[in-house]
Amino acid sequence: MLRLVSWLARLCEFLLTCPYWAARFLFGTFIFNPQLGRLRLIVAPAMLYVLFALLLTYVYAPIRGAVGQIWMAKVLSYADERSLGTAIYDVKGRFVGIFDPILDSEEDFNYTGRPIELPDYIAYPDHKSLHVGEVPEDYWQCLAYQEDRHLGGLINPFGIDLYGVLKIPVSTVTRTLARGWPSLGVGGSTLSMQLARIFFKTPPSANETAAEKLSRKLKEWWLGPVIQWQLTRGGDPTLLKRWAANHFPLAQRTGGQELYGVEQTSLILFGKAASGLSRAEQYVLAAAVNQPVMLIGGSETLDKLRQATWKRVAGSRAKTCATALIADAGERARVVAELQHLAEAPPDPKPMPGTEEALAGLTQASAGRVGANPVFRSNALLASVKYGVREELTRRFGFGWRGKVSAVHLTLDAADNFQFREREKAALALLDARFKGNLDPHYTLDLSSVGEDQGQAAAKLPDVIIAAADDKGHLVRYFESNFNAAYFGSAAARETTTGHYEPAREARAIASLGKIVAAVAIANQARDTPSSLWVDTKAPATGLEAVSYTEDSRLRTARVAFACSLNTPLEWRTSHVPLSELERLVHGFGITLVDPVTSAANLAKSIVVGQVAASPRTVHRLAGSVLAALSGNADKPVTLPTLVSGLTLSDSDASDAELASGGIVPGTLVKPQSRELLGAFLESPLCYKHGTLKRLSDWCADRHKGVALHFAKTGTRGTGTLDPAAYDTVDLWVAGGIKFDSGAAYSYVVVIGTGSPAQPWARDLYAGQVAEPLVRILLEDLEDDAAPKELTDAR
């Protein structure tokens, strides 16, 4: 036992004195050895630098990594979170782009390109990337070989490469001799040091001075060990692999920010997801680290540089990986051949399939940006759609949706909706010219006069909302003039702390669209026919063919009352419906009561004149529910219309219930025996010769070939002012549903207005006259959408 204690004591003594004897040997033999003479002037600095490199690599780096991550772990995690991009795919599965960073609901993304100093934090410029679930292995192998082949080994165990440090003085001498003047050399930066450059913006520059270069290298040495410690905890490099796949800029000259990460670069450059990349394509992306591919050309000189860069990346650097990493000669030859084939073709972005016609009107510069820049592409093709999608994500997940949703799958065709938007914009420009004298000078209907971004123009746009959904509640057409997602509800009804929508706070009155609820209530009683006579005390005493005169009353037929949206007879008839039934329908359809309910007559008046509130989305569901009931699908739940057909969640364990959207069953609100009468009531605005939608009478089901069912209702909300010169138009509404002989059925809603009586935008305008061309374009689009595929192609 005593021998063991003695042996351990001697071992401890040796370990404690070993550094001393090593330092004594080094200093005595090389640095202060008088026998070396003047050679000491070279040997001494060299030995001191070697000692510095050893201490930096094996003493400083592990200590700095372990200590630094205590307070930098959250900083790094937060930086990684801010980079989370959300991909957008349309209904055909095509990659449309990613959300503009400006739309990030957290509002903490620094897109200024410069650091922002906050009281307790420096916000460095951020980037967006589509994070991969699984890192392509060949990409990682090539990247590690090219940029950090000693990672995790004896030469680079803690984030600083010993060979890279030792290389600096050697390269300083060679660069100085080559250039003829002093030039500070370079050393190999590890992957963790390169990640520090990206997140803390310390990139190398050809124009940097020696002092700037030294300052940059010191900062990399300061941050690199912390990053490596954080990303390789317990010797597991999985996190480091993910960061390396997500955060390196791999393509530039996109018309905007560089493309960061494997996923979005492969989608743009190769037209496929990272999981589908070939071995050669993975090598190309790894070779693009520190030499990003140039996607958009320009001048002749720039085009030559672009092609030379591409050949160096695909034909040289990537080939190096193939030669060094592939053992099988046949496989190596195949990959090299594929790389040569890739290098011969220009690095043009892969166009989004099926969008050639839709994008034909863009300028060459804009078309180039749409092809190369996923943010610009989504902004161009999904001008207002992306705001609606953001609103849906915020309602489901709160403002922190970016950390939960990695991809959104839309319900609509991005190219078709883009062309639809352009047609509606042209129609609005014609309406603006036609009704210029009726518009408040502060408002316009011409989107081109204010620009897509609203700019600083004097005139502003009322909310112009046009939306259509199929029988599943999937929105197939979506248009908004303003980028405030007004379709989903008023700003006042959105909770500012959570982003959730509170229907009880909705204040947008639905005007005469409330008569749809009245029509359901009356039809459910099964006591009337379209020819039933209802009292209209406000009808003229003589002269109207639609009035049935008696000695003490004037009567209107039910069909005429609905066709012409007459308040008095509809109030009279609806007041005879039991109060409990009216309340049941109002709550069942999700309508918000504005005035207190004291009696059936009181509630009937609120419903008929539209002194009840709902978002356009809720009104759209109302139309969809009526359409389902009239189409014989009353037993299937009708959900709120949505732009989102599916989500790819970052957390695979997320509950499915979190994605569920509640609905109403039309059969519980619309009785089976009421359908025929309800259809007759609601088709009359289209089919009656004096109906409020008589300009669309050619779309009446009896007059339009291929249409099996079509109903629609208008609504006009004014301020109630008695001044004939005052601007009094607040909102113009149209809601309806159409079913084609092919079986395709669509509900739709159109709104033009501000939603507030304090902000009238025109005078003496009515829904039927203004909305007609907009609805007509929508119906023509839906007819094409509903046509069998072969007929659509033939056209």
Residues 198-257 have pLDDT tens digits of 888 766 666 677 777 788 888 889 999 999 999 998 889 999 999 999 999 999 999 888
Sign of CA dihedral 192, 194, 195, 200: positive
pTM of the model: 0.89
- DSSP string for 11-56: HHHHHHHHHHHHHHHHIIIIIS-GGGGGGHHHHHHHHHHHHHHHHI
DSSP summary character for residue 316: I
Our separate counts of H helices and E strands in the chain read: 26, 21
Phi-psi bin for 389: left (phi > 0), alpha (psi -120 to 50), beta? Answer: alpha
For residue range 583-623, what is the model confidence (pLDDT) as tens digits? Answer: 999 999 999 999 999 999 999 999 999 999 999 999 999 99
| Beta strands 644-649; 405-410: pairing state | antiparallel
Phi-psi bin for 93: left (phi > 0), alpha (psi -120 to 50), beta? Answer: left
Residue 677: name the closest of 502, 494, 529 by CA: 529
Alpha helix ranges (H) inside 83-150:
137-147
Q: Report, as an integer, the average pLDDT of 628-638.
A: 95
Distances (CA, A) of 208 to 166, 202, 215, 633: 21, 11, 10, 70
How many other CB atoms are there within 10 angstroms of residue 564's CB atom?
17
Contacts of 653 (CB under 8 A, 6+ apart): none
pLDDT at 413: 96
Residue 548 pLDDT greater than 80, yes or no: no
Show the tokens assigned to 135: 């890192």
Residue 129: name the closest of 650, 658, 652, 651 by CA: 650
Residue 367 pLDDT greater than 50, yes or no: yes
Show the tokens assigned to 476: 């197939």
Which of the two residues, 30 and 415, has the higher pLDDT score?
A: 415
pLDDT at 31: 60
Report the mean per-residue pLDDT for the chain.
Answer: 88
Alpha helix ranges (H) inside 83-209:
137-147, 162-179, 191-200
Q: How confident is the model at residue 428 (pLDDT cuts 50, 70, 90)?
A: very high
Q: Report, as an integer, the average pLDDT of 381-408.
A: 93
Q: Report, as an integer, the average pLDDT of 66-80.
A: 89
Lowest mean pLDDT among 273-282, 360-369, 397-406, 467-476: 360-369
Residue 137 pLDDT greater than 70, yes or no: yes
Residue 715 pLDDT greater than 90, yes or no: yes
For the chain, the straight-line distance linking the first and the last C-alpha, in angstroms and rounded, comes to: 98
Q: Which residue has the tokens 């025109």?
A: 762
pLDDT at 588: 96
Distances (CA, A) of 648 to 88, 96, 343, 408, 425: 10, 15, 34, 6, 33
Residue 774: name the closest of 744, 729, 732 by CA: 732
| Beta strands 293-294; 249-252: pairing state | parallel
Which of the two residues, 47 and 371, has the higher pLDDT score?
A: 371
For residue range 321-351, what is the model confidence (pLDDT) as tens digits? Answer: 999 999 999 999 999 999 999 999 999 999 8
Q: Report, as an integer, the average pLDDT of 690-715.
A: 96
d(CA 549, CA 530): 18
Q: Report, as an integer, the average pLDDT of 499-506.
A: 91
With 0-12 / 13-18 / 19 or more C-beta atoms within 10 angstroms meaning exposed / middle / buried, residue 310 is buried
- Helix%, strand%, coil% for the chain, nearest 5: 50, 15, 35
Residue 546 pLDDT greater than 80, yes or no: no
Residue 365: name the closest of 243, 254, 233 by CA: 254
Show the tokens assigned to 243: 């960061």
